[in-house]
Amino acid sequence: MRISNPVKIDNVSQTLAKGGCALCAFQKNEQSVLLKGGMRPDEFTDLCNFHAWALAAAVDVNHAANVFLSVLKHRSAMGLSKDHGCSVCARLLEAEVAQLKELLLTLKGRLVLKWMEQQGTLCAVHGDHLRQLAPSELHPTIDEIVSRTARDLETDLEALLLRPGFHAHSGGGALGRVAEFLTSQRGVNR
């Protein structure tokens, strides 16, 4: 897994028009920020499988080595066999909750709400999380956005399978969009 180059994104409203789930886009960028130096090495106490390998593949070897050293020292002090929870996953969860609340505030604007109803995208996971925080009058809208996204993905997959010359390695974009829809952004543990 390669860490993407993060861009300056302050909140989820800046990712609404990206074409995929706005929360996944924010989380993907935030994950890259955290792994590329958005956290000091001493803030890392443990890493999950995904984030350890992502960090190992990082370009900044010095930063990665310092992070791994911090995790090793922390584990040594706390006991090697104990699971202390991934530091990156914990930060991503905090960011996700804040951005879910931000998106709910953004949806109070009629123009944004109308745009989301017609064109916005939510993955199933973030749709569910948003629904849990949203007032009940927004539940049908959130459900429709998630359902429309699923219908669009089904159409894309059916078209992919009917495409002349289709072969085993020619569906990466559509398959990636479906994977994101079903499970949220890669590397964000639930």
Note the pLDDT of residue 29: 87
Note the pLDDT of residue 142: 94
Mean pLDDT of 102-108: 88
Mean pLDDT of 23-41: 88
Distance in angstroms (rounded) separating the CA atoms of residues 119 and 19: 9
The H or E element spanning position 71 is helix 61-78
Q: Which residue's structure tokens are 């989380």?
A: 27
Share of the chain above pLDDT 70, in %: 85
Q: Which residues of 123-153 are buried (b: 16+ CB within 10 A; e: fewer)?
A: bbbbbebbbeebeeebeebbeebbebbbeeb
* pLDDT for residue 101 is more than 90: yes
Q: What average pLDDT is seen over the chain?
A: 83
Q: pLDDT band at residue 6, thresholds of 50, 70 and 90?
A: low
Which amino acid, residue 118? Q
Note the pLDDT of residue 172: 61
Those residues with Cβ within 8 angstroms of residue 91's Cβ, 6 or more apart along the chain or in another chain: 30, 34, 39
Note the pLDDT of residue 177: 79
Distance in angstroms (rounded) separating the CA atoms of residues 96 and 30: 10
Residues 124, 182: contact at Cβ < 8 Å?
yes
